[in-house]
Structure 1
Amino acid sequence: VWSSAVAVFLVAPLAALLLQIRITASSAVTTSQRSLPTAATAAMDDPGSEIEYEIPAVVRVHKSGRVVRLNGTDTVPPSPCGDPANGVSSKDVVLDPAANISARLYLPAAAAAEPGKKLPVVVFFHGGAFMIHTTASPLYHKYAASLAAAAPAVVISVDYRLAPEHPVPAAYEDAFAALKAVVSSCRPGGAEPWLAAHGDASRVVLAGDSAGANMAHRTAVRLRKERIEGYGDKVSGIALLHTYFWGKEPVGGEPTDAALRGGIDQVWHVACGGKLGLDHPYINPAASPEELSQLGCVRVLVATAENCWFVERSRAYAARVKACGWGGELEFYETNADGHVYFLLKPDCENAAKELAVVADFVRRC
């Protein structure tokens, strides 16, 4: 049940825009009482269009069950013959037909230059508050291609089921299924030719930004617990970029403003279908310290930015991983001044180039 209070959450990078949004919803409040965009008001003649709730600039959910995404719907096609800007070829594939999990693959020019060359494999999960964006979103297409060229590496950008239609943990299920399909293909005769020819299964990195970084962490946790037959219980590394972690109580210098925190709280409420609390390990890894000590990876990169909404969570995560007895290699990188996933919004700025170089270097060492 939504609170009748209006909460404010700066979800800019999650929606790939610097926007201040209002979350306004209550089962007791009628649509006519809400302040709605013109398009929504015009649609009120349709009985099925009455709005249940809306996160402006993210999603609008109608009482009929229809979901309208208000951001992250733009797409760009792949470049199967290579992008002239970076030499990276890309294509869309179905990784797991049974589970209907698709992905966009990126193959750097380095692979074409040496047909037998094996490269690190980056399994990348895009951000978007678990609710918006796809692998074809312009922001993520550009970033994945840039990472493939910079490392160089084979990058697999994974599409996964989105909330609110498919609340968490659906995204985690798809992420783990994608990892299994990828490592299965990184062998002679594998189902995906680019991975069979160039993917090095001993050098797999799970990576993502924001909600996608959360997914990379959860996938590493699950891998250690369950293993993948014929592969093992560890990937070479995880790269967590501006991770979407949260919790009921503020940590470090996090904002304490109730309205602001309430807005962020409500985003998680929608993402998980209202079934998981703010201190569930899915959103707050501090709630399950034993999982940190059993991460299914050899190396961890935690990257954040000084003005990221979740910077304190990234700092705390890195400190806990370092102190928990996990025993692997930890790298922490923080950009001065910039905000949450600035490298997507300003990909050509100096700081974005520096952070990309850090991630690429991490991948090369994995």
Structure 2
Amino acid sequence: MASTVADDVVFEYPPFIRVYKDGRKERLREDVFIAASVDPSTGVSSKDVVIQPETGLSARMYLPKQANRATKLPLVIYFHGGGFCIESAFCPTYHNYLNLLVSKANVVAVSVDYRRAPEHPLPVAYEDSWTALKWVFSHPDEEWLTKYADYNRVYMAGDSAGGNISHNMAVRAHIEPNNFKFKGIVLAHPYFIGSTPLASEGDMDLLGKLWLAVYPTTSGLDDPLVNPLKDPNFSKVACKRVLVCVAGLDVLVHRGKHYHENLGKCGWEGVLEFTETEAEPHVFHVSTPEVASAGKLMERVVSFLNAT
């Protein structure tokens, strides 16, 4: 009797990824592209740039309506979420969120479209993110950066997998030679896990299997890239301000709290901020930016980005 598709599947985690017995992997959500434009509701302008032609690494840039050459603005380098395998800098969810963030915070933004698993398994997304940072700080001949961005006020930010990337880029920026200078990072509902469950932590089995699926050559669930407390360089976060955001109904809430608690006592010398939205799920502020709780979280992030 011929096997069915279900019989051939060894792991499935909607809406992220499906893994088959023969090793094949497929993304479970189709990409939806929305064109760069002038957003009618915020007046924010966006455009796409190619960072590395040979790999296709690219980004979407955002400029607020009130930008002028007389006053340079904070620069936010944003890494989108999606379990390293879905979503993009060009999808409606993140395009709309970046329009809103840029409008509210009055910042210039670069939303990085790193390559994703399964076609490009980790660590490709980390290498692409590092390449994007080098491009930003090389002061390319890009008008929106040269004329409007304040390189003394550069932030990294991201949600879920993007929060994970932001932390890892900040650590890498400390230990590898570069000319990067970050004022702070924002980690929203960061994707961190580990082999040993935390107290009160829910079932993390699916998230663990997701990590193994998107990073087949990983050392496991205690890989420092996904369990930062196992990293001997954990305290070497290359900025002086960190904002950790968690959501009470998110299965990752305890990992976010654990990260925050330990960064505050590991010897890192900086200002650590924390905010919890109790009755909301994972990345609610990106998927439902219209709800009141998302507005409050936006206010907190805007305050962090605009601090002197």
TM-score range, shorter chain: over 0.9
Supply the AA of the counterpart residue of 1:115. Answer: R
Alignment of 1:46-125 (within 5 A): 54-60=12-18, 68-71=26-29, 73-79=31-37, 82-111=38-67, 114-125=68-79
What is the aligned partner in structure 1 of residue 197 from structure 2? 250
What is the aligned partner in structure 2 of residue 7 from structure 1? none
What is the aligned partner in structure 1 of residue 102 from structure 2? 148
TM-score (norm 2): 0.93
Q: Which residue, 278, 292, 297 being the options, matches 1:336?
A: 278
Q: 1:269-321: per-residue Cα shift (whole Å, max 9, x none)? A: 10111533001111101112x42221111110101111111111111111111
- 1:135/1:141 contact within 8 Å kept: yes
What is the aligned partner in structure 2 of residue 162 from structure 1? 116
| CA RMSD, Structure 1 to Structure 2 (Å) | 2.1
Count of aligned positions: 308
- CA distance in 2: counterparts of 1:332 and 1:51, whole angstroms: 40
What is the aligned partner in structure 2 of residue 16 from structure 1? none
What is the aligned partner in structure 1 of residue 6 from structure 2? 35
- 1:72/1:134 contact within 8 Å kept: no
- CA distance in 2: counterparts of 1:277 and 1:271, whole angstroms: 12
Q: Which residue, 187, 209, 212 being the options, matches 2:162?
A: 212
- 2:10/2:20 contact within 8 Å kept: yes
Alignment of 1:233-248 (within 5 A): 234-248=181-195
- CA distance in 2: counterparts of 1:324 and 1:61, whole angstroms: 38
Q: Which residue, 279, 282, 296 being the options, matches 2:225?
A: 282
What is the aligned partner in structure 2 of residue 269 from structure 1? 212
- CA distance in 2: counterparts of 1:269 and 1:68, whole angstroms: 14
What is the aligned partner in structure 1 of residue 134 from structure 2? 180
TM-aligned CA deviation for residue 64 of structure 1: 8.6
Supply the AA of the counterpart residue of 1:141. Answer: H
Change (3 A) 1:63 1:104: farther
TM-score (norm 1): 0.79
- CA distance in 2: counterparts of 1:317 and 1:31, whole angstroms: 48
Change (3 A) 1:63 1:277: closer
Supply the AA of the counterpart residue of 1:89. Answer: S
Change (3 A) 1:249 1:67: closer
Change (3 A) 1:215 1:72: farther
Look at both structures and tell me which one has the larger radius of gyration over its CA atoms: 1
TM-aligned CA deviation for residue 137 of structure 1: 1.1
| Range 89-98 or range 50-59, more displaced | 50-59
- CA distance in 1: counterparts of 2:192 and 2:122, whole angstroms: 14
Change (3 A) 1:159 1:357: same
Q: Which residue, 126, 136, 141 being the options, matches 2:80?
A: 126
- CA distance in 1: counterparts of 2:83 and 2:2, whole angstroms: 25
- 1:31/1:51 contact within 8 Å kept: no
Change (3 A) 1:51 1:339: closer
- 1:135/1:158 contact within 8 Å kept: yes
What is the aligned partner in structure 2 of residue 198 from structure 1? 148
Change (3 A) 1:65 1:75: farther
What runs of 5+ residues in structure 1 fail to find an aligned partner? 1-29, 37-49
- CA distance in 1: counterparts of 2:271 and 2:199, whole angstroms: 24
- CA distance in 1: counterparts of 2:241 and 2:105, whole angstroms: 16
Change (3 A) 1:32 1:57: farther
| Range 127-136 or range 92-101, more displaced | 92-101
- CA distance in 2: counterparts of 1:287 and 1:207, whole angstroms: 22
What runs of 5+ residues in structure 2 fail to find an aligned partner? none
